[in-house]
């Protein structure tokens, strides 16, 4: 039975010091711990412990380095969230445009276009909830003016209300016979529909981590992605720098895919500079904890 009692902030600091974490300024540490929980910060000092059972810290482990890791991770999430936003808007625009022209504005309600009917039912149920909660004047006016039309609003209204995760599921669920599925993949540099679904699903997972302020640094991420053997756009030249199958758990491969997509969507973007600036700002952060490869900035992918 779990029997640990809650510690005061003073007790938390004393325990960390007893275990070997250097905290020269207890007042400053108390300020941090009053705004960032002990448990959350523990995700960043865990790697500093030589004994994970007794929670003993390695020599020269410093509280200031824990805070630096925490701040690096927070800024990394903001950077990736900004990049993912542009990918999400592009995907939404392409889905709406291509499928509304190929099929009709209510293509996302057409069960004949999708492989998994149950998955579509769940997606549409979530969309219905989003539309009912929406304060968007466009949605409110649509339901007011077209109250006798029992369909969802057309895709260019409805899909503006849904999440990146829902968009990626809609795209992945489309039957391969739908021409727009390959057209969208080609426009995004993924050649055909074989590769893009896994890219979008992995990026949607990262987006959820960013939105919920979850740790990305030194985290094993779920899922795998299919990588193109010969991408049509700049990728990674050095075979040693290409992520291997067993390395898909690292953030690096997901960032590579984000960079590949953003290079298509927004050429001459500043993703590389902003990422490198983070490592310069926080020199104690080991890029290897993200799965970063040697000389990553020299690769054609990251020079765009």
The 10s digit of each residue's pLDDT in 55-70 is 999 999 999 999 999 9
Structure letter (DSSP) for residue 149: -
Query: Quick check: is 185 in a domain?
Result: yes
Question: For residue 249, what pLDDT band results from cuts at 50, 70 and 90?
Answer: low
Same domain? For 152 and 267 the reply is yes
Please, what is the average pLDDT of the chain? 92
- Whether the per-residue pLDDT at 25 is higher than 70: the answer is yes
- Whether the per-residue pLDDT at 243 is higher than 70: the answer is no
Same domain? For 57 and 76 the reply is no
Count structural domains, the chain. 2
Question: For residue 169, what pLDDT band results from cuts at 50, 70 and 90?
Answer: very high
- Whether the per-residue pLDDT at 77 is higher than 70: the answer is yes
Which of 61, 80, 102 is where one domain is finished?
A: 61
Same domain? For 36 and 163 the reply is no
Residue 133: which domain range? Answer: 69-303
CB 98 within 8 A of CB 170: no
Same domain? For 57 and 101 the reply is no
Q: Whole-angstrom Cα distance, residue 36 to residue 9?
A: 11
Residues 6+ positions from 89 with CB-CB distance below 8 Å: none
- Whether the per-residue pLDDT at 86 is higher than 90: the answer is yes
pLDDT digits (tens, 9 = 90+) for 199-227: 999 999 999 999 999 999 988 776 678 88
Q: Whole-angstrom Cα distance, residue 90 to residue 46?
A: 38
Structure letter (DSSP) for residue 195: T
Same domain? For 44 and 187 the reply is no
Same domain? For 56 and 73 the reply is no
Same domain? For 141 and 194 the reply is yes
What's the token pair of residue 185?
């993949």
The predicted model scores a pTM of 0.92
Q: Whole-angstrom Cα distance, residue 275 to residue 35?
A: 26
Same domain? For 84 and 52 the reply is no
- Whether the per-residue pLDDT at 274 is higher than 60: the answer is yes
> Three-state SS across 78-97?
HHHHHHHHHHHHHHHHHHHH
- Whether the per-residue pLDDT at 246 is higher than 60: the answer is no
Give the pLDDT confidence score for residue 141 in this predicted structure.
93
Give the pLDDT confidence score for residue 233 in this predicted structure.
95
pLDDT digits (tens, 9 = 90+) for 126-136: 999 999 999 99
Same domain? For 41 and 100 the reply is no
- Whether the per-residue pLDDT at 27 is higher than 70: the answer is yes
Query: Quick check: is 203 in a domain?
Result: yes
Residue 56 dihedral angles phi and psi, to the nearest 5°:
-85, 135
- Whether the per-residue pLDDT at 242 is higher than 90: the answer is no
- Whether the per-residue pLDDT at 245 is higher than 60: the answer is no
Across 78-102, average pLDDT: 98
Q: Whole-angstrom Cα distance, residue 249 to residue 186?
A: 26
Same domain? For 74 and 178 the reply is yes
Same domain? For 209 and 75 the reply is yes
CB 236 within 8 A of CB 299: yes
Same domain? For 39 and 140 the reply is no
Location of structure tokens 């491969």: 253
């Amino acid at each position: 039975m779990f029997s640990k009692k809650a510690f005061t902030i003073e007790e938390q600091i004393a325990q960390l010091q007893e275990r070997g974490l250097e905290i020269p300024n207890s007042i400053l540490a108390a300020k941090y711990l009053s705004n960032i929980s002990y448990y959350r910060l523990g995700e960043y000092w865990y790697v500093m412990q030589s004994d994970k059972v007794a929670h003993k810290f390695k020599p020269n482990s410093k509280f200031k380095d824990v805070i630096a890791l925490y701040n690096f991770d927070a800024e990394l999430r903001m950077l990736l969230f900004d990049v993912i936003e542009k990918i999400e808007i592009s995907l939404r625009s392409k889905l709406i445009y291509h499928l509304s022209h190929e099929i009709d504005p209510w293509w996302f309600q057409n069960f004949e276009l999708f492989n998994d009917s149950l998955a579509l039912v769940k997606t549409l149920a979530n969309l219905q909830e989003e539309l009912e909660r929406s304060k968007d004047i466009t949605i409110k006016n649509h339901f007011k003016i077209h109250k006798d039309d029992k369909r969802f609003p057309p895709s260019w209204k409805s899909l503006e209300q849904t999440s990146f995760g829902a968009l990626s599921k809609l795209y992945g669920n489309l039957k391969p016979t739908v021409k727009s599925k390959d057209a969208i993949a080609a426009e995004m540099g993924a050649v055909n529909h074989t590769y893009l679904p896994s890219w979008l699903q992995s990026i949607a997972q990262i987006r959820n981590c960013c939105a919920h302020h979850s740790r990305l640094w030194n985290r094993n991420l779920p899922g795998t992605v299919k990588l193109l053997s010969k991408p049509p756009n700049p990728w990674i030249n050095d075979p040693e720098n290409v992520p291997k199958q067993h390395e898909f758990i690292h953030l690096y491969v997901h960032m590579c895919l984000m960079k590949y997509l953003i290079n298509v969507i927004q050429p001459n973007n500043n993703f590389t500079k902003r990422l490198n600036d983070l490592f310069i700002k926080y020199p104690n952060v080991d890029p290897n904890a993200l799965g970063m490869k040697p000389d990553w900035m020299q690769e054609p992918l990251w020079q765009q």
